[in-house]
Amino acid sequence: MVTEWKSRGRTIVPVLLTQQILDTKLKQCSPEERAAFFAELEIVNAAAPAAVPSQAGLPAGMVRQGLTDDVEASQARWREERDYLNSHREVLSQAAASLYPPSSRIAGTPMLTSKAWMPDGPVSLDQVKLTWADEVPEPLVTGTEPEAAGIHPLRAPGVRFDRYTLAIRYINSPTLFENRPSYRLQSVDWAGGGGELTFGLASYFDKLDVCEAIGHEFAAAHMAQEAGSETSLWGALPLRRMLDNPFDFGLRAVTPAITTLLLRRRPDGSATFLLHWRDPAKVATAGGLYDAIPAGEFQPGSVLSAQSPQDFDLWRNIVRELNEELLGAPEFDGSGSPLRYEKWPLWRALERARGEGRVRVYAFGIGVDALTMAAAIPSALVIDDEVFDQLFGDIAADNAEGITVTQWRGQDTRAGIPFTQENVEQFIHNEPMAPPGAACLALAWQHRELLLGR
């Protein structure tokens, strides 16, 4: 329960029995332990460091000490840089992409890839084989290196947070911030018109400790450049320089998201696409940007099925995200029992439609966001208009991660945004678009005849 509070703050309330257990345990603590407990809760729930620390809840004669000036200044600077990162991700992604060869960019977007990571064209998802690796090597870069110290703020005088995720949790935690098992990509092979992806197991924070840290480092360097710093941009990026090959699986834990562009195919062969705006107050990554929908980390739906075939499936991951983002269902946060897909009506209906060719899903390959080096599997999901209406009807406007785009440029887009070259280019080049979503749009338009043909 305390762990849940640390990650989700006051957004959850324990059931009565748990409240009674916690109250009993708290009463059994010493005065010093109770004081430490209340101090911890104040740190977790405070939106910003208090100028004068509250003395509420302390035993008589005890005084709670506030943050020292150097710690408070360090955390304030970190928060300012983090806010800059979240409010300028589009600009920063474009700037970061300029550090790499233009040939590595996917269709001119800030999404990078290599020849080995991309097939010649879209690959039907049933032609992508997943292989399990029981053992995975320790990554060479974990975000705890001395090179990362510049973006780890002080947590006490002379002592820094040793992981970026700890700083997020205690200084600026979003609503959704949980460390869950994630599938770690080990190798990729797109030979023979299909694909084989090999995965092991890692954690979501393994990704953030490197990828969000690299993004923060770039944002801080970019701010310094704007302020007139004479240090070269590349010279101000020691952690990024450690990842000299973005496509080396051994350098960091590559735990990809699956970003899927949903296309509603109309009977005349035209289509609309759906987008999602990611709320920076709710999510730890890509906040303030449009993104393709559905999108989510490739993770098991339950910690109990982390190493079983139950959730080790790209299509099942996409369906879970559809349920959350279009229907507004609660997240499969890993805490429940393994999902029985055969008992789930949405899953059964989509499987029937997929078998009839009225639902089709394709993988485009694998890429990384130039700003954060976070990997994603861009893909496309084509659903016939009639099937979409039957299964989803009026889509949920709000969900746990943000807002579905139901209004755009004064138009009602609950049925989707028209899939035209003008609209595709508008979002890729002129809107704050997450790089994986931009790559999905660009690749879907490039291969539209294959995707929308029958």
Kindly report, residue by residue over 213-237, the tens digit of the pLDDT. 999 999 999 999 998 888 888 999 9
pLDDT tens profile 136-152: 999 999 999 999 999 99
Work out the burial of residue 27: count CB atoms within 10 Å of its CB; fewer than 13 is exposed, 13-18 middle, 19 or more buried. Answer: exposed
Q: How many Cβ atoms sit within 10 Å of the Cβ of residue 276?
A: 24
Average confidence (pLDDT) over 253-270: 96
Strands (E), 80-180: 111-112, 123-124, 128-132, 154-156, 159-160
pLDDT tens profile 26-76: 878 887 777 777 777 666 555 444 445 555 666 655 555 556 789 999 999
Considering only 110-114, 167-171, 360-364, 413-417, which range has the smallest mean pLDDT? 413-417
List Cα–Cα distances, 42 to 5, 35, 171, 222, in angstroms.
11, 11, 11, 33
Peptide bond connecting 294 to the previous residue in cis, omega within 30 degrees of 0: yes
Work out the burial of residue 129: count CB atoms within 10 Å of its CB; fewer than 13 is exposed, 13-18 middle, 19 or more buried. Answer: exposed
Asked whether the beta carbons of 8 and 335 are under 8 A apart, the reply is no
Average confidence (pLDDT) over 408-429: 91
Output 316 or 404, whichever has higher pLDDT: 316
200 token code pair: 């092991």
- The answer on pLDDT for 398 being more than 80 is no
Average confidence (pLDDT) over 274-281: 85
Average confidence (pLDDT) over 101-127: 96
Confidence at residue 303, expressed as pLDDT on a 0 to 100 scale: 75
Percent of the chain's residues with pLDDT above 70: 88
Percent of the chain's residues with pLDDT above 90: 63
pLDDT-derived band of residue 396, with 50, 70 and 90 as boundaries?
Answer: confident
- The answer on pLDDT for 6 being more than 70 is no
Cα gap 215→240, rounded to integer Å: 9
Question: The pTM is what?
Answer: 0.82
Which helix (H) or strand (E) is 85 found in, with range? helix 69-87
pLDDT-derived band of residue 205, with 50, 70 and 90 as boundaries?
Answer: very high
Cα gap 294→292, rounded to integer Å: 6
